[in-house]
Structure 1
Amino acid sequence: MARADVNILSLLLLALLSFEYCTGYSAHEDALIIAEYKRHFRSTDHALVARNLVHQASWASVGSISTNEKITNYPMVNVISVDDSALNGKSTGRIHFLLTDLDFTGPDWQNNNKVTFLFTDEQNLNCKKRREDPMEPTCARTIISGKVRELDSKNVDYNDWIEAFKSRHPAARNWLKAHNFYLCELEIENIFVLDYYGGPHDVSVEDYYNTKTK
């Protein structure tokens, strides 16, 4: 990754120099941009960015491989309510969510349990407040892939997980009564974070879970 950052910085320098030659763009402005680039990569904890994005989100976009007869084997995208909180509200990093076989994702994961979750800072309109488009690299996002695992209702922690989820999503109390929802967790296998120019960063699962959040 360090070599990739050096290559990106070299290309940025070349582009800036070319731009200055053609337009009279100032060396002072060049220095400011390069300094900001270096400052960002020196100070950013990408594992912490991922954890914060997951914890602040009440929902995520989830991609699965469709089993619907009209789009079998095409990607399906759905909105799923999520929670990573302990009973005290603190982040655990463990992504919990309720599924039902009446929805798209329920039947999909039982055929192929590999899914991808997308979290973005724009879910809370933070990027809009900074006048950033959701597609801009500075509008932070994390893309987390893994496998769906249905949680065992006999686990000693199951009731705590359910109560934490219902605390974040009060409507879930009705879902559990009426629509045969079941609690699942994402077994995380890969994490990408994009929060600045220069491309995505690969964050290890170990670093993600070991990161200390506030």
Structure 2
Amino acid sequence: MMEANTSILPVFLLMLFSSFEFCTGYSALEDARIIAEYKLHLRNTDHAQVARKLVHQANWASVGSISTNEKITDYPMVNIISIDDSDLDGTSTGRIHFLLTDLDFTGPDWQHINKVTFLFTDDQNLNCKKRGEDPMEPTCARTMISGKVEKLDTNSVNYKTWLEAFKSRHPAAKNWLKAHNFYLCELQIENIFVLDYYGGPHDVAVKDYYNAKPN
């Protein structure tokens, strides 16, 4: 009797797994179809354009730096930084400008180790939520832009234009500049990742980013 039960076991397990696959709706053909659809979508996506669009539509970014704070030295620090990539007429330049102060986290951090990463997501304007997507889903587009902070020279030919464009987008900045010694900076971009669909992040060349036009 024991031998009969043993011989039936593999058949029972096969039936169990087959039943599980049926119940969960798994299909190898369906998987293949979905993957093919993903690849088709990714082939037709201009990832540099996606990055430019996300930057231009955002009023702020989550910014990661390497902390100099005595309580978390060398840990990652994340901050919210108001940004602007516009010219005076509101058109996108792709150049990421922002104000920093040494009274905040990011100011001291970049001067110690000048490495930062800016995160932009399509859900900053609740676009993903409106489409019924969770911010963590790959279809909720995001771009991670890394580089170095450059403190802009106040004597630069374009300094006043950039500052006025920033204040036009962030009127509150007029008070910051007076009260807290803020200074205008630009992100010198070194690397760009875009995740806007299934299949993993895409590495976007900096030159392609600047040559792209946001939608």
Same fold (TM over 0.5): yes
- Give the structure 2 partner of residue 3 of structure 1: none
Q: Distance in 1 between matches of 2:28 and 2:191?
A: 40
Could you tell me how far apart the structure 1 residues matched to 2:28 and 2:202 are?
29
Alignment CA distance shift 1:26-1:77 (3 Å): closer
Quote the residue 2:43 is aligned against: 42
* Structure 1: runs of 5 or more not aligned: 1-17
Would you identify which runs of 4 or more consecutive aligned residues in structure 1 move more than 4 Å?
Answer: 24-32
> Does 2:21 match 1:22?
yes
Q: Which residue of 1 aligns with 2:13?
A: none
Q: Take 2:35 and 2:189, find their aligned partners in 1: how far apart are those partners?
A: 35
TM-superposed CA distance for 1:37, in Å, is 1.4
How far apart, CA to CA, are the structure 2 residues paired with 1:107 and 1:127? 34
Task: Give the distance between the partners of 1:29 and 1:126, measured in 2 at CA.
Answer: 28
CA distance in 1, matches of 2:28, 2:114: 52
Larger radius of gyration: 2
- The residue type equivalent to 2:122 in the other structure is D
- 1:21-79 CA-partner distances (Å, limit 9, x unpaired): 93265788557634531331121000000000000000000000111111111110000
AA paired with 2:208?
A: D
1:137 paired residue number: 138
Opposite residue 55 of structure 1, the aligned amino acid is H
What residue in structure 1 maps to residue 91 of structure 2? 90
- Alpha-carbon RMSD across the aligned residues, in angstroms, is 2.1
SS of the residue 2:71 aligns to: coil
Find the counterpart in structure 2 of residue 121 from structure 1.
122
> In structure 1, the residue corresponding to 2:84 is in which secondary structure?
strand
Say which is worse superposed, 36-45 or 131-140, in terms of deviation.
36-45
Normalization by structure 1: what TM-score? 0.86
The answer to whether the Cα contact below 8 Å between 2:192 and 2:203 also exists between their aligned partners in 1 is yes
1:38-187 → structure 2 map (5 Å cutoff):
38-187=39-188
TM score, norm. by length of structure 2? 0.86
Amino acid at match of 1:22: E
What is the DSSP-based 3-state SS (H/G/I as helix, E as strand, rest coil) of the residue aligned with 2:149?
strand
Aligned length: 197
SS of the equivalent of 1:190 reads strand
In the alignment, the residues of structure 2 paired with residue 38 and residue 112 of structure 1 have an alpha-carbon distance, to the nearest angstrom, of 39
